[in-house]
Amino acid sequence: MIKCSFKDLKPYQQELLLEAEKAMDNAYCPYSGFSVGAALLTENNLTITGSNVENASYGITICAERAAIIRANALGKRRFKSIAVIAGSKKYNAKEPTAPCGACRQMLYESSVISERNIEIIISNTDKTNVIISSIIELLPLAFGPENLNNKNLNAG
């Protein structure tokens, strides 16, 4: 795990984080006021974004990371190199980055299996002064995945 600031990131990481920040503006979060933006980088260097969508029935709320994965899937993209996530609210400028929740980590792990790589995870606070670069394996050690189901025939798409 690497802790740094925006200026220390590689150019592609900066661009991905800026795309995640733009996606954050599209978050639908009338209940929590907590916006999250995510930007996935495919193996072909296409950026696909997502933002969180809340619902009055809280259980069907979807996180930005999963929204981006689902959007990518709808576009026929299933192989990723990296994801950037930025989160916060207008009322609260988070000092610490917000890491993906457990459900998002699980979906990112399965994406890493399909992608045949340990997907890079870039998380940032809202003013981009505190950035953490990690990986899905670091964030979800001892993950449950297709290999636990003896499924070796994933459609990598």
10-residue mean pLDDT series, the chain (157 residues): 96 98 96 95 97 95 97 97 92 83 97 97 95 97 90 57
pLDDT, residue 118, reads 97
Could you tell me if 131 and 123 are in contact, meaning their C-beta atoms sit under 8 angstroms apart?
A: yes
19, 21, 65, 120: the active-site residue: 65
How high is the pLDDT of residue 95? 84
| pLDDT value of position 90 | 67
Architecture of domain 2-149: 3-Layer(aba) Sandwich (3.40)
Q: What is the pLDDT of residue 151?
A: 63
pLDDT confidence of residue 114? 95
pLDDT of the residue at 25: 94
Angle at 93 between CA 135 and CA 126, to 5 degrees: 40
User: 136 exposed, middle or buried (CB, 10 Å; 0-12, 13-18, 19+)?
Assistant: buried
Contact assessment for residue 45 and residue 22, using Cβ atoms and an 8 Å cutoff: no
Strands 120-124 and 131-135 come out as: antiparallel
Is 138 part of the annotated catalytic residue set? no
- Residue 92 has a pLDDT of 67
**Rounded CA separation 35/123 (Å):** 14
Residue 65's nearest CA partner among 31, 90, 40 is 40
Residue extents of the structural domains in the chain: 2-149
SS3 63: coil
